[in-house]
A = this chain, B = another copy of it.
């Protein structure tokens, strides 16, 4: 099956392969990718088998071919266009994040209700929220990022969907819900830190009880 974890692993394999290519690796074994992605070699081969990716028994996988196949699966055979709503600290950082452009991800425009944030001259134009729908339609954009405060997040999602957005990454600290057929992933930064705090505390307790 192709669940979220499996697809996340494919991205990791691809990232590792890009690095190996810069080191002039021509072939790679499942064991190598497993080390780089922090999983087992069996897991790597199983993942590949799900997507019909094959290598050479005894000879591993050719780095170039593997990158090409993973890029195809992950939609990296073309530039993927995003819009972003909410030009707070996080929104500004993401719009400027060089890693996106480098990976074939282009944030076409940012949006905010606050006129002080508008700026059509910069490398990424920041527009009034009223123009959201028009920009999405004009550029035929399917993907969005939400970095507004919690109370505004669901409303923003409901502006995006009818304009044509089909996939959203939401950073507002609330689980927003899209209609059937719309993909929404939520990243809550506080939750991520709480998760780390929990497991550190849990391991402390385990160590104490072992003493």
- Residues of A whose CB lies within 8 Å of any CB of B are 2, 4, 7-8, 10-12, 15, 19, 36-38, 73-76, 80, 82, 89-90, 92-94, 96-97, 99-100, 103, 105, 142-143, 145, 166-169, 173-175, 177, 181, 183, 185, 187-204, 207
- Across-interface contacts of A193 in B (CB, < 8 A): 80, 82, 100, 105, 143, 145, 169
Closest residue of B by beta carbon distance from A180: B203
Which residue of chain B lies nearest to A89 when distances are taken between CB atoms in the complex?
B93
Leading 5 A-B pairs by shortest Cβ distance: A93-B93, A89-B93, A167-B200, A167-B196, A11-B191
Q: Closest approach, in angstroms, between the C-beta of A121 and any C-beta of chain B?
A: 19
Q: Report how far A143 CA is from B10 CA in the complex, Å.
A: 29
Give CA–CA (A193, B94) in the complex, Å.
12
* Known A93-B93, A99-B173; 5 more pairs at CB < 8 Å: A80-B193, A89-B94, A89-B97, A143-B196, A145-B193
